[in-house]
Amino acid sequence: MGFKVGEKIVYPNHGVSVVEKIGEGFQTEPVAPKSFYHLRLLSNNSRVMVPVGNTGLIGLRRLTQRKDITGLMKTLGDGRFSATGDWKGRYKQNLDKMKSGELNKIADVLKTLNYISSRKTLSFREKKMYERAKYLIVSEIAVINGLDEKEVERQVDRALARSAGSRPVVAH
């Protein structure tokens, strides 16, 4: 999967990034020069270099398509959860979903943690994961739809409120 300079893409667990340049990077070994994507993370303007051949391994992907956002918002509000009993098992499952960088999996994490937080206090790590998942979803939807992040956050909160208010259907 090739990306172009100026294209906005998603760097898993970090969010929307811009490809600023495609070129050589720092070499750690005396081998043939490697080509790198030079990315700027929109969340904090930090820069990252990713070897062009490692995009699949790292999970770089294009932004979710606008047509898929409606389905994502329905998923956030539907009341289906996939949570294991203890928080350690749930945390590991959720961590794997977060690392995937896939918006639907991140939405599942957010929705599940939102439901649990409406019933009991989340652990510190789960609170951090909840905040990260929400940020990743809100920021990507805002970029895709050209909306203010505060407006998108209100939409996400409304969907989560619908979801938490319904009886959970546990899906495994």
Low-confidence ranges of the chain (pLDDT < 70): 1, 26-33, 82-85, 166-172
Q: What are the C-alpha distances in Å from 4 to residues 8, 13, 20?
A: 9, 21, 9
**Other Cβ atoms within 10 Å of 1 Cβ, number:** 9
Rg (CA), the chain: 18
**Other Cβ atoms within 10 Å of 17 Cβ, number:** 24
Between CA 151 and CA 146 the distance in angstroms is: 11
The predicted structure's pLDDT at residue 30: 60
The predicted structure's pLDDT at residue 171: 47
The predicted structure's pLDDT at residue 28: 61
The tens digit of pLDDT for each residue in 59-81 reads 999 999 999 999 999 989 887 77
The predicted structure's pLDDT at residue 89: 83
pTM of the model: 0.86
Domains annotated on the chain, with CATH: 8-62 (2.40.10.170), 66-170 (1.20.58.1290)
